[in-house]
Structure 1
Amino acid sequence: MLRSPGYKLVLLLIILLGNSGYKLYAHSTCKIVATTSIIGDAIENIVGDSAQVIKLMGPGVDPHAYKATPQNIQDLSRADIIFYNGLHLEGKMADILAKFSKRNPVFAASDGIDTVNYLGDFKYVDGLDPHIWFDVLLWKQALLYMSECLQKIDTLSANYYQENTQKYVKQLDELHEKIQKSIQEIPKNQRVLITAHDAFTYFGRAYDIEVKGLQGISTVTDCGLRDITNLVEFIIKRNIKAIFPENSVPNKPLRAVVEGCRKRGHMVTLGQELYSDALGEEDAWQGTYIGMVSTNVQTIVDALK
């Protein structure tokens, strides 16, 4: 089993922390900071109400372009443990996370996934696709890893974390099976998912649906006129009937695609918004990982079948 380069370092850190007698919750409530709402939701399902979980980025926030605020820095400085996605998702926070890793336990969820399952270009630091959560089974690996980190650092709550993790893993397995069945409702020749940026490649590989994004794997890279023209050509050639905006990406470029298709005599619908790099509002069903993914799948199936 191949692990990401940071995996051995993480295990070493856990051992060192354990040997030093470092135990969370011994005297006060643990403060856990998660960079994204998706990471935060995973941690909340592990720790329940026994810890304070702070999410640096709120609903609809683009993590690719996000820069830490003074409040974020304060939260990070007070954290007992920090979790982030990795694979350059939080690219503009890399230096800050590296700084805090010298003081406190800092873990990347992506370190829990076998490197053979990564998508993208290994030749470049920012060439790997960070959107691992759209393959539910991969996300389960990440969740188990984060749970392992918490259990080994916080031995007092390890059994509780393990129980919560096992319950949540069952829900993820059920979600995975539900997605597989739902995608089958779309005729094979109509399974083409076009979105604002390449956030759904893991989803496409896991659930047998072709995906195409107007932008690359990072929203920091702008799309140009040629990108729009090429996508218009693709949509017309494949007779695509719907494309999808995302909750964390401006939809103006996609509207240009719709207009380009219209001028060529092809009507394509700008579908309902998909949740990509961030969850929905916290008090909504889409404010949970399972709710977000379930809503996305239903939106895709309804538009393409």
Structure 2
Amino acid sequence: MKRWATRLAAGLPLAFCLGAAQAEEAPIRAVATIGMIGDVAAHVGGSCVEVTTLMGPGVDPHLYQPGARDVQTFQDADVILYSGYSLEGQLGAVLKRFSQMKPTLAVAEASIEEGELIAVEGAYGIDPHLWMDAGLWSRIAPTIAQTLGEMRPDCADAMRANAESYGRQLAALHDWAGRAVATVPEQQRILVTAHDAFGYYGRAYGIRVEGIQGISTEAEASVADIRAAAARVAELGVPAVFVESTINPRTIQAVIDAAAQQGQEVRIGGELYSDAMGEAGTAGGTYIGMIYENTRNIVTALGGTPPAMPDALRDWAETWDVADASANVPAAQ
């Protein structure tokens, strides 16, 4: 990968110089590796930025294999925004090469204090799924605003204002998610998912998290992993488990079947967004919608009742025709 990235980078044509006036008028071409960064960048940058997201709905960043088209996308960008903490492991060599040519920022690493990170065993060292805590993830908005503002000083004030406004929405979302999870009976606050992507969510909102496999999805869950998860489900009387949009549901189904053999009937509580947001043009295709829909599905399936939508999110709700926190909850399967 490093040799391939070096060859491609060595052949990059020299960019021709634009006039100062034209450069200021043109939107910044920003490339974000994942949608959870791209959506924040779009909110912060407004009309001063044009955001392209590399990995779309259903794409697992742990497994993503970069291709020549991705390198071309990076080549055309004015700035590259990625999460860091090894989330984009397969892209590491390419990102390192481009960091020597243009602004390339690991937004999570630049925004969140070390003491607030979750340490994990294995190659990662740090759990990279920081967007699962809306309070933590809101920290990337001012970081992005500062980076883009330095590139477009004429937009800097508007970007700072956008970051502050968006931060207030995420603060309201964070508070709402915590109040929603608190409505689940305490003994049922157990979130079982295919892989361990919800650690920050569990810590932030007060729910125990049980991932069938670890942080990475590079290897499938083993038979031992499935048996261990089924034993915990049966022991704790878990009423529902959850599939993820980026992972094959067969692992969860195997746990359901194994738990049934131990006398515990458990159902699928719904599909959660873990390493990617939903389809563009839907509420779940926004970062706010990702956390909102996940929380709504988790709380409802585990026996709670989501509270009313906070006033700070009314504009978002109207834009996406979301009537109420408890509306349109899909039936458990």
Specify the alignment match of 2:326 in structure 1: none
SS of structure 2 residue aligned to 1:261: helix
Specify the alignment match of 2:115 in structure 1: 116
Alpha-carbon contact 1:24-1:153 (below 8 Å) kept: no
Structure 2 length-normalised TM: 0.82
How many pairs does the alignment contain?
283
Stretches of structure 1 that go unaligned for 5 or more consecutive residues are 1-21
Cα displacement (A) at 1:236: 0.6
Alpha-carbon contact 2:26-2:48 (below 8 Å) kept: no
- Whether 1:177 and 2:175 are equivalent positions in the alignment is yes
- Higher mean C-alpha deviation, range 284-293 or range 125-134: 125-134
Give the partner amino acid of 1:268: V
CA distance in 2, matches of 1:279, 1:45: 16
Cα displacement (A) at 1:28: 2.6
What does the per-residue CA deviation read over 1:16-40, in whole Å, with 9 as the maximum and x for residues that have no partner?
xxxxxx9994253211000011110
Q: Percent identity?
A: 36
CA distance in 2, matches of 1:23, 1:156: 11
What does the per-residue CA deviation read over 1:99-145, in whole Å, with 9 as the maximum and x for residues that have no partner?
11010000011121001111123x86522100000111110112222
What does the per-residue CA deviation read over 1:190-246, in whole Å, with 9 as the maximum and x for residues that have no partner?
100010101100000011110010111111132111111111110110011100000
Give the partner amino acid of 1:284: T
CA distance in 1, matches of 2:43, 2:271: 26
Give runs of aligned pairs for residues 125-136 of structure 1, distance below 5 A.
126-136=124-134
Computed over aligned residues only, the root mean square deviation of the Cα atoms, in angstroms, reads 1.6
CA 1:180–1:25 in structure 2 vs 1: closer, same or farther (change >3 Å)? farther
* Aligned with 1:83 (options 74, 81, 84): 81
Give the partner amino acid of 1:40: G
CA 1:298–1:96 in structure 2 vs 1: closer, same or farther (change >3 Å)? same
* Aligned with 2:247 (options 249, 252, 264): 249
Alpha-carbon contact 1:80-1:104 (below 8 Å) kept: yes
Give the partner amino acid of 2:190: V
SS of structure 1 residue aligned to 2:215: coil
What does the per-residue CA deviation read over 1:153-190, in whole Å, with 9 as the maximum and x for residues that have no partner?
32221011011111111111110111111111101111
Cα displacement (A) at 1:50: 2.3
What does the per-residue CA deviation read over 1:20-78, in whole Å, with 9 as the maximum and x for residues that have no partner?
xx999425321100001111001001011322110001111101100112221111001
Specify the alignment match of 1:206 in structure 2: 204
Alpha-carbon contact 2:278-2:286 (below 8 Å) kept: yes
Specify the alignment match of 1:229 in structure 2: 227
Cα displacement (A) at 1:147: 1.8
Runs ≥4 residues deviating over 6 A: none
SS of structure 2 residue aligned to 1:49: helix
CA 1:297–1:94 in structure 2 vs 1: closer, same or farther (change >3 Å)? same
SS of structure 1 residue aligned to 2:24: coil
CA 1:230–1:23 in structure 2 vs 1: closer, same or farther (change >3 Å)? farther
